[in-house]
Chains A and B, each alone.
Chain A
């Protein structure tokens, strides 16, 4: 946790913006720079900013999800969307697209759904790692105590 009025104000304003941007990046993906991985990193950056500004306990309260489950679900969901191709006797990961783009979202196909899986997995893993590192003093108080005594 970092006690700074400037950082906290910016973090509060930036969180919704970054989350929106991450979704934009996710949908922009596939053929343009962006995609699930970049979007996921952006979203987790928004959450990690909360961890730095307000501490891990607050960050957990802002978005109440189990990040590990989120990552596992992302992997599951992503792996699933390569499978439909097998039913049509095409190689794994062959893409299917809808013909007309949906206004505001764009063309949707199995690669986009795969990207959603990647998006969730990346958010889950990076945020979980950041939270574990940030919560270390709370999880292992004995080590911190030993260090300060020295």
Chain B
């Protein structure tokens, strides 16, 4: 029993409530927000160590035993995701201090960011399917607030599309939960996994799995369901786009990993060829979409879609090797993507526009910003020594080992196309001569530069110390794919059915 698992959730909730209460005293509220995110970060770094040392951590809320109560489970995948999520939130909060005006603070911007992290952490840790739905709603509500805060026309338009399309995904998720409960009579993930092994009609489980693929796929922005993302992500302030790109689609990807990788492994094996097809289509369509765009944040938004294809590829390989590679890649892309949004956003703030045709000459004006941007794009494209190289290398190795030639080939091609498309921003924004007089432009402030730069440095460090990360993700991938071990950790050695039968007798 690891009862401390609820601490990061409760601390964020208390932090958000206090930040609302002390909203008038700006600096007190800011201190509370930074404090609770820092606590979350320290906790999740410690959790990384605890999981590596002692294996899965489980806690049952209120002492109700596993198939009946709400279970919180932390394994390697959870710990990695939690650590990256709180790191990104901390950077976003710091970036927001420098980039947002006071109006946002008055309308509870920072409590909403905390609630977003609360929903995300809950979704990472929960061991109950319906509880996962609840955490999705928490993070979606917070994100609805964040995306429309400010209330400009473009934001409301983008927000409407975002809300409507996300609600469709939520409804599919809820329908899936209902069907699972109807068929196997439980919502605890470990218990579902156990009962699915002995189910009489396997066909219906495949249908349910497809519904979940639709639900999580629409959150993760996979191929036919990604259209909400590029139409809404460039409308809110940069800090909001950055944290969304780091957390939201990745929660969808993580849920795909958890539900298919751990709970519905048989269905994953059925659907694997289809998931791989979706993966390479998503990669290609995303990167081609990015090539056609002429706005910094729109280009980056299409790249989110393209990168999700890689995460889904890790799932589609349907092995602990593939899941480990996918986790490594997802953790890397969360960090790099957010840093690119920060740096691109800083450039946007300097020019007052995100249209790359109107920008230019920034390499001469802001060389430090340009260096970090360049390191960021080679990391995204997957060149050594950055973390992106090892993320893609692991995925390609797994693909080659399992003979998935098509998806591996497309993944390599997409890497080159990504570099090409990012170099377009490099050429237009940083390299080319500006038509306007750039000497009058405002200088970039340290607060805008630092969060993105720090994340790029972390990406570089992860690339240089890749062996540690690779070891950890292979442990995490093994735990994620180890269904029997998951059931035993959650329900005890005899499994959930034994606890269930003992209780109803």
Contacts and interface: CB of A to CB of B under 8 A. Distances in A.
A95 B62 CA distance: 7
A83 B11 CA distance: 10
Interface stretch (B15-23, B168-176, B309-317, B328-336): B15-23
Using C-beta atoms within 8 Å of the partner chain, give the interface range for chain B. 10 to 19
Nearest to A83: B10
A92 B16 contact: no
Contacts of A83: 10
B405 interface: no
B14 A80 contact: yes
B10 A79 contact: yes
Helix, strand, loop or mixed for chain A's interface? helix
Contacts of A72: 17-18, 20-21
Nearest to A95: B62
A94 B18 CA distance: 24
B154 interface: no
Contacts of A80: 14
A69 B7 contact: no
B21 A73 contact: yes
Given A86-B4, A90-B3, A91-B3, A79 B62 contact: no
Contact of A94 (B10, B13, B14, B62): B62
Interface residues of A, number: 20
B60 A79 contact: no
B18 A92 contact: no
Contacts of B3: 85-86, 89-92
Interface string A78-122: 011011011001111111000000000000000000000000000
A71 B7 CA distance: 21
Nearest to A117: B17
Contacts of B60: 91
B63 interface: yes
B10 A69 contact: no
Given A82-B6, A86-B3, A92-B6, A76 B59 contact: no
Contacts of B446: none
A39 B505 CA distance: 36
B61 interface: yes
Given A71-B20, A90-B63, 11 more contacts: A72-B18, A73-B21, A76-B17, A82-B6, A82-B10, A86-B7, A89-B3, A90-B3, A91-B61, A91-B62, A92-B5
Interface of A: 68-69, 71-73, 75-76, 79-80, 82-83, 85-86, 89-95
